[in-house]
């Protein structure tokens, strides 16, 4: 093979399917971390595990890696059991790569040695060549002889990515890989990482607690809460058709109005909303996205008084008093939509930004 051909194919893996089947986990101190999670990352996809702190994301990742053996259920790689009642493959036999939040580079080793660290099956020269190719792919080959401390956070993250990808894992697991980066750097490193993942064709599972990050990165998103899988789907599905108030609140800031269903609808100080299929008297939460309002000094059908406004750049955040409501409504509107003196205004609500849920104990 020519060097050029070698270069173009190096690091490309055969994408694998990783499945969790009815995974439950309880730690030795009896903390129940996961309850009956069934989820599949399809070959070549980026699946984001999203959820609040303590929801079980890291535990699920550690179970996939083989660092934490699950209490019940099975893990399958390309439909072959790698962890279950009868089999337990140790981490090094799983063809699974890991990237941690703190990058975990060895400070006393050069960048090149950090990247070739895991290539024990290759000769020293072959490992060197593979490591250089991996560094080229993340644009850092010129740092091969340097030590990690001279690299920026974003560059260290790219080295960690090169190190994880160089053994050509079938699946790459990333635990909050961007949380150590400042917000400006985060966007560019995230975009680069996504490009590199696409080129490598590895299946990737990325843990994050940031819904926007999950939407930017994930082909699909799996939302966890208290160790349970709440909803899985494309970003648009979770945003537009959330399965519960919890899911809706994870993806957008909401105003929440409580009311009871009557004749398939709910009456609120902001008007009447459809609540199809709900029996009379059912407690209902009407959730309205902060971005779901149009405001004006002459247009709109709901009168409101501006209580406060905060300039946020492209948009401003309004706090509004509405007749008959014992709470202040929050709205995020385009700057310039209201004059600087506006006090008594009108608003209208976009239907697509209203979500109606039966109040469940989970939603309470």
Residues forming the site for ligand ATP (CB under 6 A): 27, 29, 31, 33, 51, 53-59, 209
Which segments within 261-327 are labelled E, that is strand? 265-268, 271-274, 283-289, 293-296, 302-311, 315-321
CA 246 to chain centre: 15
**What is the spatial distance between Cα 317 and Cα 293, in angstroms, rounded to a whole number?**
11
Q: How far is the CB of 323 from ligand ATP (least distance, A)?
A: 42
**What is the spatial distance between Cα 87 and Cα 188, in angstroms, rounded to a whole number?**
41
Q: How far is the CB of 101 from ligand ATP (least distance, A)?
A: 9
181: nearest Cα among 153, 161, 159: 153
Q: Which is nearer to ligand ATP, 57 or 168 (CB)?
A: 57
Q: How far is the CB of 3 from ligand ATP (least distance, A)?
A: 42
Q: How far is the CB of 163 from ligand ATP (least distance, A)?
A: 22
Q: Which is nearer to ligand ATP, 31 or 188 (CB)?
A: 31
Q: How far is the CB of 31 from ligand ATP (least distance, A)?
A: 4
Give the list of residues 6+ apart from residue 245 with CB closer than 8 angstroms, or none.
254, 256, 285, 287, 355, 357, 359, 360, 362, 363
Q: How far is the CB of 355 from ligand ATP (least distance, A)?
A: 25
Q: Which is nearer to ligand ATP, 171 or 222 (CB)?
A: 222
**What is the spatial distance between Cα 322 and Cα 308, in angstroms, rounded to a whole number?**
13
Q: Which is nearer to ligand ATP, 45 or 210 (CB)?
A: 210
Q: Which is nearer to ligand ATP, 33 or 37 (CB)?
A: 33
Strands 302-311 and 315-321: antiparallel
Residue 116 burial (CB < 10 Å; 0-12/13-18/19+)?
buried
Q: How far is the CB of 71 from ligand ATP (least distance, A)?
A: 12
Eight-class DSSP state of 125: H
Eight-class DSSP state of 279: P
Q: Which is nearer to ligand ATP, 57 or 332 (CB)?
A: 57
Q: Which is nearer to ligand ATP, 179 or 291 (CB)?
A: 179
């Amino acid at each position: 093979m020519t060097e050029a051909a070698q270069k173009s194919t190096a690091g490309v893996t055969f994408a694998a399917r990783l499945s969790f089947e009815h995974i439950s986990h309880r730690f030795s101190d009896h903390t129940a971390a996961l309850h009956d999670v069934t989820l599949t990352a399809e070959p070549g996809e980026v699946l984001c595990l999203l959820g609040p702190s303590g929801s079980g994301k890291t535990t699920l990742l550690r179970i996939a890696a083989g660092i934490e053996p699950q209490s019940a259920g099975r893990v399958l790689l390309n439909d072959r059991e790698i962890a279950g009642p009868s089999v337990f493959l140790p981490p090094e036999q799983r063809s699974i790569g890991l990237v941690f939040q703190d990058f975990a580079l060895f400070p006393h080793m050069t960048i090149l040695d950090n990247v070739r660290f895991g290539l024990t099956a290759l000769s020293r020269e072959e490992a060197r060549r593979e490591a250089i190719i991996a560094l080229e792919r993340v644009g850092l080959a010129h740092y091969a002889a340097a030590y990690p401390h001279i690299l920026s956070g974003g560059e260290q993250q790219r080295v960690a990515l090169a190190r994880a990808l160089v053994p050509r894992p079938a699946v790459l697991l990333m635990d909050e890989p961007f949380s150590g980066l400042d917000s400006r750097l985060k966007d560019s490193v995230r975009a680069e990482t996504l490009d590199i993942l696409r080129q490598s064709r590895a299946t990737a599972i990325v843990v994050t607690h940031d819904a926007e990050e999950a939407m930017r990165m994930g082909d699909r998103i799996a939302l966890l809460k208290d160790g349970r899988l709440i909803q899985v789907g494309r970003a648009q599905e979770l945003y537009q058709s959330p399965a519960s108030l919890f899911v809706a609140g994870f993806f957008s800031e909401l105003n929440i109005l409580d009311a009871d269903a009557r004749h398939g609808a709910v009456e609120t100080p902001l008007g009447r909303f459809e609540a199809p299929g709900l029996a009379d008297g059912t407690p209902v939460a009407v959730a309205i996205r902060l971005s779901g309002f149009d405001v004006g000094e002459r247009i709109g059908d709901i009168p409101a008084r501006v209580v406060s406004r905060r300039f946020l750049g492209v948009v401003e955040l309004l706090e509004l008093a509405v007749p008959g409501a014992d709470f202040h409504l929050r709205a995020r509107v385009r700057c310039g939509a209201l004059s600087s003196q506006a006090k008594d205004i009108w608003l209208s609500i976009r239907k697509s930004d209203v979500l109606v849920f039966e109040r469940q104990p989970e939603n309470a």
